[in-house]
Structure 1
Amino acid sequence: MYVLASDISPMNTRNALRLRTVRAYDIQERKPSPVLKPKEVVFHDQQGTFLHAHIPKEFVEKFRSTFTEGKVYGVKNFVVITNFYSFKTSPHKFMIKFNYQTVVKQLKDVIGRVVEIHAPQEKVINGKNARLIDFVIEDSDGIQLGCTVWDDHVNKVEVYYNSATEEPLLVLIQFCRARTCLKSGDIKICSSYDVTQLLFNQQTPEFMQFRESLCLEQTPMRSIVSQSSFNPGSSYTVSLKEDLQLRTLTVVYAKKEFGEFWVAARIVFIDCDGEWYYPSCRTKSCYKKLEPKKEFLYCKECDRTWGDGILRYRIKIRVVDIKGNAPFVMWDRECTELLGLSALDLKQKNSQGKDGVPAEIQALSYMPHS
C-alpha cells in the first residue's frame, strides 16, 4: 500500500510511495571519464515532505530517462537507509536507495464510458478480507479496457450496478496503474490503493470533450454476474524472536567499540553491484585484492606479481532491527551459508546470473531474512 514519506522506515520493505519529482540529476565526474556515476532524485509527497533517492551507478541506465520533473510516480521495491549525505537535499532522517527490483510507474489518468459492470465480490487475500468489482470502459473508437478497483473504491462503482442510470456513464480514473492479465495477456486498469480517484459524469472540460466525441451508436451498458479474472499472488512472512538478549545496531553505533557482537537483525537487501567476488593475493595472511598489471595480477601490499589469485567472496547486505539500520559485509564462509551453497558451487556460478550476479543472490536481494 502507499504510505507517506514521513512513515517510511528501514524495517518496512513492502509499502510503496506516491511522489512528485522535484529534481533529477546525475553526479558529474570531475574530469572526463567513461565511468558511470550515480543518479540522484529529490521527491516530495502529498504532505510536502521532501525525500531523497539514490540510484547506484549500476542501475543508472535503467532509470536514466524515467523521471521528468513535475510528474507523479509510484515507486516500490526500494531500500530505506539512513540519509548519509553531508549536504542534504532533504531534512528527512532516511533516504531511499534503488536496486534492480525497484519498480517505477508514472501515475496517469484514464477516461472512458462504462459499458459493463460486474457484480461485487469478496475474497481473502493473504489472510485478509478484501472486496473488488470489475467493470469495462470504452473509448470513442469502441476500444474496450477492463478495470478492477478494490475495497473503498468498490462502493463508488457499485451504486451504478443494476441501477437506472441515464446513459452515457462516463468515468475518469485518476492515479491508476496498468497490469497484464496472466490468463489472457490483456492489459487492464487497477486501482492503486488509496491514491486512486474515481469521478463520474463531472461537468469539466475533460468530460465535455469526451462526451462530444461519442458516436450515436453506442454499446449499451449492462450489469453482469461473473467471477473476477484477478489471481492473487503469494506472500512471504518473516518473524523475529524477541526473547534473545542481544546488542542493537543503535548501541553498536553509539559505543563505537571494536570487538565481536551478536546482533539480531533482518536482512532487507543484498546490495550486490556485480562484484561479489575478487582475486586476492596468494601470500599467507594477505587478503588484498589483486590489480591487473599487463598479463599478470599485482598485489600492492606485498609488491608481488601472480599469474592468478585466490577467489574471495564478499557480499554487502543491508540489515535493520527495531531502531536502526546498517550495512554489513559478509565474507567467504558467511556468504555460502547465506546462500546455502558450497564454495565450489559459488565458483561454478561466477559467470551466471544478471550482470555477473548469481541467480541465488538475485533471488535473495529483496527478500527479508531473519
Structure 2
Amino acid sequence: MALVYTKIVDLHPSVTNSMIKVICIRRYAIKYGGEQSSIECVEHDREGTRIHLTIPRGQCGALGHIMQEDVVVQIRNFFVRNNNFVRNKTVDNPYRIVLFPKSQMSACVDPDFPLQKFLFKDFNDISAIEDANEEVLFDVIGVLVGKRYIKDQNNVKLIELVLEDARPTLYKVSVGIKFSKKTLSLNLETVKEDSVSDEDINVKAIDEIVTNENGEAWICGTIESVDCSYTWCYMACIRCTRKVAKLNNRFFCGACNKYDGKANQRYMLILNVVDSTNNVSLLVWDKESITLLGKKASEIELKGNEIGHLEIIPKEIESAHIGKTILFKVQLRADIKTLNDRPYIVLKVCNNADTVQKYASTNGQNSEGEFNVQSSQKSFEEECEGLSQITTIPVLSGNKKVI
C-alpha cells in the first residue's frame, strides 16, 4: 500500500499525525559561543511549496547527517509551529517545522522528485516593489561587476555588491557581515543603482572625447586588436587589488605593506577600438573584462607559448574581442591632449546586442571603409599606478629592503 504524504500547504499546528516527503534545498548550522545550537533547513514538497525546518541541538547528531542538501527525505512525528520568531524568514510560509526526540526521518531514493532550489526575482520586479517585506529573503542572480567595503566604528563591515543582469541593469546589493567572518548575514538591502538605458547613454564619436575637462562619456566602437604593450593580467592583492610581488611562496603588497599566501589574477587589457571618425586605445580593468569575456582571468585556457608569457595575448581573449562592437563608458581627463597620449580608462561596458546595434548604426559603425588603427605608443604608467614591474619588498627579518 502506497504511503500517503501530507502536502506542506495542509500542515497546521493542530494536526499532529502528518507525514511529509520533502527535499532539502538549504542547510546551515547556527552556532552560539562556538557550539552548534541547531541545524536550519529549507524544504519543499512535490508541489514546490516551501517550509522552514529546525533540527534542535539535541537531535543534530541523530538526524543532522540524514538531512543534506538535494536529498529527499520522509519525516513523521514533528511539531508545526508559527513562523514568527525569525527576523529574516527563509520562506514566506506562516508555519515552520520543529523536530524533537521522537521525530523519525529517513532518506528516500526518488529520482523523479522535483528540485526547485531557487525562486529568482527579476531586477525590474524588485525595483517596482513599493512596500517591501523586509523579513522575507529571496533569490537573485547576476554577474558581480563591482564591490566596495564599508567599515563602521563597531568594527563591522558592509560589502556593497553591484550585480548586473542580462539587459544589463545594475543593482547595488548591500550585505552586512561581521568583520572577522566570511559568511553572515541574512540581511540584504537591494536598491536600484543605475541602468544602461536610452536615457543614460549619450554616445560621442571617438574624435569628440578629447576635452579640456574631466568627466565621462560613452563611445561605440569596434575592437580591432588587443594590445600587448604591457601584460594582459597581473597578480593582485586580495585586499586592495594592487599588483603584488612574489617572493618565494608569498606575495607582498606595497600599498598594504603586508605579505599573503595567495593573490588573485586580474585582467588588465588594452583594446584598440575604432569608429567611423578615429581610433583610440582603452584600458579595460578586471570587472569590465569579466563582463565581456564571461570568465575570470584565472579561468582563461592557455596553450603553447601562451603559458608563462603574459605579454602574449591568449587566443581565447583575442577571439572573444576582435571584431566585436561594444559600448564603452570612458573616463575623460583634461590632461589628455590627444587621443594617443595614453589609453582611456573604461568605467563600464555594454555588450547587449540590441542596445549596441542601435548606437552602432547611428554612429556610422556599419559604413564601409578602413580605419588607421594604431596603438598608443606613449607610456601609460600613470594610469597603472601600483602595477609597476619593480616593487619594493621589505625583507622578513632586518631593516634592509630589496628591489
* TM-score normalized by the length of structure 2: 0.25
